[in-house]
Structure 1
Amino acid sequence: LVFDYRGYGYSAGKPSEEGLIADSLAMLDWLQDRAARGAIDGSKIVLCGRSLGGAVAVHVAVALESMKIRYPPSCVIVENSFTSISDMVDCKFPFLNIPFFKEQFLRLQWRSIDKVGKITMPMLFLASVQDEIVPFEHMQKLSEAATSARTKTFHQFDATHNDIWVKGGRRYWDAKGSFIKLHAQKRLATDAGKESETC
């Protein structure tokens, strides 16, 4: 499922951290309803985000840690995302890194680096070594900070921010596809076990 956050594409409203997270949870709720009616396979729900979407995926995954839903995502995939907006400002506009000054105008935080360690779902990190927008080191740090994930896998590709699936070629698609398939099967087995316990 691909959708436009509020303020993006044809969606009305203004984007905010809380708003984008709420939009994503609303989409997940819609998928829950579809899965409950048998329209989709609930074991194959995955959180996947790239760039800003990676930050949204991390924050949504953390929110789900304290929620009880029938068809939770089987895993989380983060691609070419950043540790925080503040860190991005530091690397793109170092002259703004003045105590108390930067905080005055930063309306968005997206501190994924502080959140990712709370995620227990399996995580896959896909990073472009030549990323000209988000430094490669951000993805390395996010992966290192994902200390609670049941499993985590890190793949790097000789690509830039927006051509990772092209430059990565088959290795990129195999990495993503095999990860999703593995954890969807594990989720299916877990769900089957729960159903047999309640019958």
Structure 2
Amino acid sequence: MWNRSFLILHGVENRRPAEHWQYDLAQRLREHGEQVFYPQLPDPDQPSLDAWVEAIEAELRMMRGERVVVCHSLGCAAWFHVAARRGETPAADRVLLVGPPGPSAFSWDAIAGFTPEPLDLTRLKLAVATPRLVCSDNDPYCPEGAAEVFGRPLGCDVDLLTGAGHLAIPDGYGPWPSALDWCLDPGTRLTVN
């Protein structure tokens, strides 16, 4: 019987490359004997919100014990919609949001359907525990500042990293030890790689 399980959600155009911190995190968690779900979400180049939500819900149904969700980029926006559709019943016990795209990013046609604009972020119940948001002060996909745009209305604990970009491979985020540390101990604050 699993005491907890992890669901890792990638972003747009991501095919779970081995160099990405999420891929490394999945491997490290498995080495610790954890149950990990790291699905390839449908059509990552031209994603459909409904298809992603359906895939995420299917993964959630397989999870056992404490349910921990780790989202990056568009995976965060997808999680907002999962939460909105669930209403007052959170789908996870803990959630880590990393580098969610800001309002200006949704002008890109490929992800426009994921915009959280119609959602009341102040009413979303993302998880049982207070969600943790990790963002950078220079994320090109959220120039508006994720701490302000998402952290405040969602009531997140925020780790604002200096100069970490989009927290992706080009920014040096292959292995990211503090992400693993948070997964194993939710009291951990995330730091730069």
Match in the other structure for 1:110: 115
TM-score under structure 1 length normalisation: 0.58
What residue number does 1:88 align with? 105
Pick one of 178, 185, 190 that aligns with 1:178.
185
Find the structure with the greater CA-based Rg.
Answer: 1
- Residue pair 2:41, 2:52 contacting (<8 A) in 1 also: yes
The alignment partner of 1:179 has SS state of coil
Q: CA deviation at 1:156?
A: 1.0
Higher relative contact order (CA 8 A, sep 6+): 2
Deviations, residues 17-65 of structure 1 (Å, cap 9, x unaligned): 111111111111122xxx3xxxxxx12x112211101111222123233
Tell me, in whole angstroms, the C-alpha distance in 2 between the residues paired with 1:117 and 1:25: 22
Alignment of 1:58-69 (within 5 A): 58-67=80-89
One-letter amino acid of the structure 2 residue matched with residue 123 of structure 1: P
Partner in structure 2 of residue 184 of structure 1: none
2:101/2:141 contact within 8 Å kept: no
Structure 1 residues 58-109: Cα deviation after superposition (integer angstroms, max 9, x where no partner)? 22123233558xxx4112211100244xx3256x8xxxxxxxxx9xx98524
Inter-CA distance 136–107: structure 2 relative to 1 (3 Å threshold): closer
- Counterpart in the other structure of 2:71: 49
Aligned CA distance change for structure 1 residues 165 and 178 (closer, same or farther; 3 Å):
farther
Higher strand share: 2
Q: Distance in 1 between matches of 2:178 and 2:69?
A: 20
Q: CA 1:166–1:88 in structure 2 vs 1: closer, same or farther (change >3 Å)? A: closer
SS of residue paired to 1:63? helix
Q: CA RMSD in A?
A: 3.6
1:78 equivalent among 97, 105, 115: 97
Give the total of aligned pairs: 146
1:115–1:76: structure 2 CA closer, same or farther, 3 Å change rule? farther
- The TM-score with structure 2 as length reference comes to 0.60
Q: Secondary structure of the equivalent of 1:78?
A: strand
CA deviation after TM superposition for structure 1 residue 111, in Å: 1.3
Q: 1:117-196 residue pairs with structure 2 within 5 A?
A: 117-120=122-125, 121=127, 122-135=130-143, 137-147=145-155, 152-158=156-162, 159-161=164-166, 162=168, 166=173, 173-175=180-182, 177-179=184-186
2:9 aligned with 1:5: no
Flag the 1:60–1:7 CA change in 2: closer, same or farther, 3 A.
same
Identity of aligned residues (%): 14
